[in-house]
Amino acid sequence: MNKFADKRPAIIFLLFILLLFLLPFVYESRNLLILLTQIFIFSIFAMSYDLLIGFTGIVSFGHAMYFGLGSYSIGIFMKRFEPDMTYFLWAVLTTIALTAIVSFIVGLLTLRLKSHFYAMLTMSLAGLFLVLAEKWRTLTFGNDGFTFRVPELFIDRTNFYLLCLIGMAAVFFGLRRFVNSPLGRVLQAIRENEQRTASLGFQVLHYKIAASVVSGVLAGIAGILYAISLRYVNTSVFSMDITLDALLMTIIGGVGTLAGPIIGAGIIEFAHDWLTGLAKEHWIFERWIIFFGIIYILVVMFFPQGIVGTLRKIAWKRKKKSYPVKSEQKAAG
Amino acid sequence: MDLFMNLALNGLATGMLIFLLAAGLTLIFGLMDVLNFAHGGLFAWGAYSGLWIYSKTDSFLIGIIGAIVTGFILGIVTEKWIIKPVYGNHVQQILITLGLMMVLSEMLKVIWGPNQLTASPPDYLKGSWEIGEINLIKYRVFIIIVGLLVFAGVQFMLKKTKIGLVVQAGVMNKEMVQALGINIQRVFMFVFMIGAGMAALGGVLLGPYSGVIHAGMGMEFAILAFIVVVIGGMGNFKGSVLAAILVGLSGSFMAYYVPDLSLAVNMLLMAVVLIIRPQGLFSAKG
């Protein structure tokens, strides 16, 4: 884990961000821009998920509930009030407050349980939110969802692209600080050995709740960006599929690393785009998730550390210092 | 009275279907310490394969048998290829079974198409019996009877047969059973197979009951089954039948009187049980 002390990955990442920052000014492609925006949004979501699964060792199957809370907050604010920056900020604050409260309560109730129960309970709770969003029609318009207008600043795709990119970079560096802070170290200790951490005198539950709240809030922010990018929200934001997306991205990319979820998000979104394009030629590509399901099972079985973790292990074995942030080449393939 | 009976019957029938799913989950958990997130997928596979065979052969009985056999086969394959490589690692187990769930439900869409299919009971189970004022819908009674028979059968197996004895001993202490020269791996596979078969049976019975089947129903019922397993106590077979009836009844009455809250009530029940009695309501050990 000393790898984190190394400054090189951060520099590579910074260069990578700079490159992406300049992209819309030199290369005009609306589709690519939209696709990359999606990748940034899901990177934020997957990194927030990785904080739980990869850094603290908590498996949550209900991460979609925070995502959905964010999406609905922005949607309802923009629909009910004026779509301007003031209400955008209000929506962000509401999301932060809601996700923090919900994740705190969920954590308080369930984090003392064993991993099975936690996974099961969060899954059911997310199901509860889905039902709630379907039934509370006066607020959410049920399954049909609703469209809304967004603040003027975000109407321009390039602006929104840059916002999401900056958001992703901020979350990356913020989480990097977080996992290397004393608090983050304790979280990693909990992942490695919970009993030992507890017997060293740490209140394991408090640390787990802290991780759960940070992760929940970040997932909510990803939900806000997602809803803005679609300008539409419906109950699917609470569905299991959203959690599965985060799970696939994190596991395939590499758990316990921050570059992993970003690479995973890139691979999955690019492949999704590519495979749905292929669906015209053969219907099986419409069911693209099946390929990822199989890859996912194989990764869990044989490469439990994902792409980044496995590459890192190889690099360590060769005793060479190399850090794999080459997502563009891999993502294209 | 008629309304009450109808709701009760409905609740019992749903409870039995949930029981068929939850019983396998709880047995597998009790013996192998594996929480199978793919159990709902096996349930949905039972429904699709059973109804497909039913529609091809025009015999509901063969459909049911076909579903159970599908369940057995899937159970063996799952245990051997998916669960066995990751025994002992909880996080990996949870992740891998959820991945399997995803693959299983997508496979359903690949084979039978993404739209929902309709199903109706065979002629001899259509309609209802009228006893006085009370109207007993035949198919619901049939589900309840099948559920009770399965319960009795598994109970008999656990209490009176050698393999049942081994399973019970395995729940208490796996290492000891192994030390006595019993191949616990074979027992694991057997229990997994039985659990998968019961889930598939539940699935095929659900089809004509609800009228339609779709690939997402595995997940819906799996959530109910998780609630049941928690309320009944993990690994507690008798607890699971009581909890399933409780959840079925509360679901059916709530769905009638306060429809918006029916799932919420069950969820609340689970949350309360988890906080106050994490070992389950019906668990003998205090």
DSSP B216: T
Looking at the complex, report in whole angstroms how far the Cα of residue B133 sits from the nearest Cα belonging to chain A: 35
- CB-CB contact of A252 with A306 (8 Å): yes
Q: Give, for all 333 residues of chain A, the pLDDT tens digit.
A: 455 456 777 788 888 888 888 888 887 788 888 899 999 999 999 999 999 998 988 888 889 999 999 999 999 998 888 888 888 899 999 999 999 999 998 888 777 777 777 888 888 888 888 888 888 888 888 878 888 888 888 888 888 999 999 999 999 999 999 999 999 999 999 988 888 999 998 988 999 999 999 999 999 999 999 999 998 998 889 888 899 889 989 999 988 888 899 999 999 999 888 888 887 777 777 777 888 889 899 988 888 888 888 888 888 887 655 555 544 444 443
- Secondary element (H or E) of residue B161: none
Pairwise CB contact (< 8 Å): A240 & B219: yes
Segments making up each domain of chain B, as ranges: 2-276
Chain B residue with CA closest to A57: the answer is B91
DSSP B277: -
For B177-186, the CB contacts below 8 A with 24+ separation are B185/B84
| CB contact A125 to B (< 8 Å) | yes
Size of interface A-B (CB pairs under 8 A): 91
Of A53, A119, A297, nearest to B82 by CB-CB distance is: A297
Compute the distance between CA of residue B196 and CA of residue B43 in angstroms, rounded to an integer: 8
Dihedrals φ, ψ of A226, to 5°? -60, -45
Burial of A66 (0-12, 13-18, 19+ CB in 10 A): buried
Pairwise CB contact (< 8 Å): B107 & A290: yes
Nearest to A171 by CA among A97, A211, A228, A222: A222
Topology of B2-276 in CATH?
ABC transporter involved in vitamin B12 uptake, BtuC (1.10.3470)
| CB contact B265 to A (< 8 Å) | no
Q: Which residues of B touch A304 (CB under 8 A)?
A: 92
- At residue A82, the pLDDT reads 81
Chain B residue with CA closest to A288: the answer is B106
Two tokens, residue A194: 């919970």
Looking at the complex, report in whole angstroms how far the Cα of residue B95 sits from the nearest Cα belonging to chain A: 7
Whether A19 is covered by a domain: the verdict is no
Q: Would you tell me how many other CB atoms lie within 10 Å of the CB of residue A156?
A: 10
Whether A248 is covered by a domain: the verdict is yes
Sequence length of chain B is 286
Whether A131 is covered by a domain: the verdict is yes
Two tokens, residue B239: 């607890």
- Which residues, at least 6 apart from B258, have a Cβ–Cβ distance to it below 8 Å? B265
Sequence length of chain A is 333
| CB contact B141 to A (< 8 Å) | no
Q: What is the CA radius of gyration of chain B?
A: 19
Q: Give, for all 286 residues of chain B, the pLDDT tens digit.
A: 678 888 888 899 999 999 999 998 988 888 888 888 899 999 999 999 999 999 998 889 999 999 999 999 999 999 998 888 888 788 888 889 999 998 998 899 888 888 888 888 888 888 888 777 777 888 989 999 999 999 999 999 989 999 888 888 888 888 888 899 888 888 889 999 999 999 999 999 998 988 889 888 888 888 889 889 888 888 788 889 999 999 999 888 888 888 777 777 877 788 788 777 777 777 654 3
Looking at the complex, report in whole angstroms how far the Cα of residue B237 sits from the nearest Cα belonging to chain A: 18
Looking at the complex, report in whole angstroms how far the Cα of residue A100 sits from the nearest Cα belonging to chain B: 19
Burial of A324 (0-12, 13-18, 19+ CB in 10 A): buried
Which of B91, B111, B228 is the mutation pick for testing A, counting most A CBs within 10 A? B91
Whether A9 is covered by a domain: the verdict is no
Number of domains in chain A: 1
Domain enclosing residue A279, as ranges: 29-332
- At residue A320, the pLDDT reads 55
Compute the distance between CA of residue A66 and CA of residue B166 in angstroms, rounded to an integer: 44
Burial of A135 (0-12, 13-18, 19+ CB in 10 A): middle
Compute the distance between CA of residue A239 and CA of residue A92 in angstroms, rounded to an integer: 22
- Which amino acid, B155? Q
Looking at the complex, report in whole angstroms how far the Cα of residue A282 sits from the nearest Cα belonging to chain B: 12
Compute the distance between CA of residue A197 and CA of residue B2 in angstroms, rounded to an integer: 59
Whether A13 is covered by a domain: the verdict is no
| CB contact B221 to A (< 8 Å) | no
